A and B are shown apart, each in its own frame.
Chain A
Amino acid sequence: MKVFKKWNKSLWTGVVFSLVAVAYLIGSYSIGPSAKRFGIFGAAFMPRLYGAVLLLCAVIQLVVGIRQYRKEKDKEIPEPTEAEKKEKLLNARNVAVGFVLIFLYMLSMKTLGFVISSAIFLFCLCNLLLPKTKDRKKAQLGIVLLAVLLPTLSYLFFKNVVYMALPAGPIFHGVI
């Protein structure tokens, strides 16, 4: 694990996108055959071109990254303090929570309906974004107001004024 910490951005870029390029190129072989008259310029031509150039760029980044790594290998990186480490972990956790939140939100939109899923989502997201210095309890009222009002008003506006029906969900089906 410790080895990864010393990897610089170029190195990461190189590795990640080399893998992506290879996966993409392999995937391009699953594309069906094109009409004979296209010759080599069939449906798979451009994907392979993109994949090849991407691989090239990723390798360049890899080289740049390795060079930089060698230069900085023996440089002393100051150990982060306990407090700093804790902060970093909390922030990383928050990011993960953020992604999971968005994922769950989208998953639940069809079943719970737009209004309910959005209300829950907004509530959670606002709380996630609340700076730690702010008074948590006091801010809840404002957050709840936003979380409930905004989706409801938007739903009504979009449904009745411009006839765009957002997912209704069990409660609103046939009611509004």
Chain B
Amino acid sequence: MKKLATILAAVLLVTLALGSVSLAETSWPEKTLEIVVPYKAGGDTDFHTRKLAEYLEPILGQTIIITNIEGASGSIGMIDVMESAPDGYKMLYFHESMLTNNVVEICEFTHNDLDVCAASVVDDSYVLVVGAQTPYQTLDELVAAAKENPGDIAFAASSGGYSYYCGRLLEETAGIDLNVCDAGGTGARNSAVLSNKMQVTAHVYGGLKPYIDSGEFRVLCALGAERNPLFPDIPTARELGYDMVGGRAYFLSFPKGTDPEIIAKMSAAIEQVCQNEQFIKETQDAYMTTPSYLNTEELQKRLDDNLAFFWAHRDLLVEE
């Protein structure tokens, strides 16, 4: 009996001690912070980073500078942060290309070589479009035409990019054979569909909006899990009977070995930002996507699951 009481008392004491430690406020941040964006200025990753930083500054009470380090599809910037001191003052803002880079063997590191913190945006506004000059009014029509002429309908993609993945996903899910071709960057892919050299492509709604609005692109479906409130008239692929879902999480990470308290504090700050109405509105206006917060555990799980998925379906990312 006495032994049990002693053990209980010890456990109680330890718990209290630990609890009080985690209740204590860390004094981080005490100086300027730096977020590395592994792409050049002006792109979507850069935009989301800067917007996040803008709203984080008043919450954290420190300036945040953004550094663009591009190269090797984002892995150079990623490795720069990986090799930095885990003192909580340098972070990486990247998206799930971190995972695909690993699967297509551009980078041997994954999110597990960093301490992930939280996601601020999960962009599920991908849509599938065809050129207005094509005769396909619905997704079913496209699939039927593809079945009749396997390998003839051209899908504009960028090698190793998300657009390529969407094209292959469509092929796999609908059981059809398209001609998924590399067309170059976003501008070149859009040109190809505009001039009817290629017929189909997929991208975030925001990137295709100018052409959807002008009537030159016809949206067949959205690739989110549910209808996107920003363009509610567009059915999801799932509704139409095709079980394919696409979406990219944009998240912040610290170098491995960073103090968990710092990570927790930053995660809470990001959660606050994602609830800020102005932040939500500005993100929606620019990229037609709504910020959604994922905390550290949710994010870790999502990344683990997706990495496993990509490895299991490597042929959807790279041509063999």
Contacts and interface: CB of A to CB of B under 8 A. Distances in A.
Interface of A: 35-37, 163, 165, 174
B28 to A, nearest CB: 15
Contacts of B67: 165
Nearest to B105: A32
Contact of B65 (A36, A37, A163): A163
Interface string B215-228: 00000000000000
Contact of B319 (A35, A163, A174): A35
B320 A35 contact: yes
Interface of B: 31, 65, 67, 319-320
Contacts of A35: 319-320
A102 to B, nearest CB: 23
A163 B67 CA distance: 9
Nearest to B179: A37
A174 B90 CA distance: 13
Contacts of A165: 67
Contacts of A163: 65
Nearest to A38: B319
Contacts of B319: 35, 37
7 contacts: A35-B319, A35-B320, A36-B320, A37-B319, A163-B65, A165-B67, A174-B31
Nearest to B65: A163
Nearest to A35: B319
A168 B320 CA distance: 44
A76 B220 CA distance: 82
Nearest to A37: B319
The 7 nearest A-B residue pairs measured at CB? A35-B319, A35-B320, A163-B65, A165-B67, A37-B319, A36-B320, A174-B31
Nearest to A33: B320
Nearest to A36: B320
Contacts of B320: 35-36
A31 to B, nearest CB: 14
Contacts of B31: 174
A35 B319 CA distance: 6
A165 B65 CA distance: 10
A37 B177 CA distance: 14
Contacts of A174: 31
A123 B319 CA distance: 53
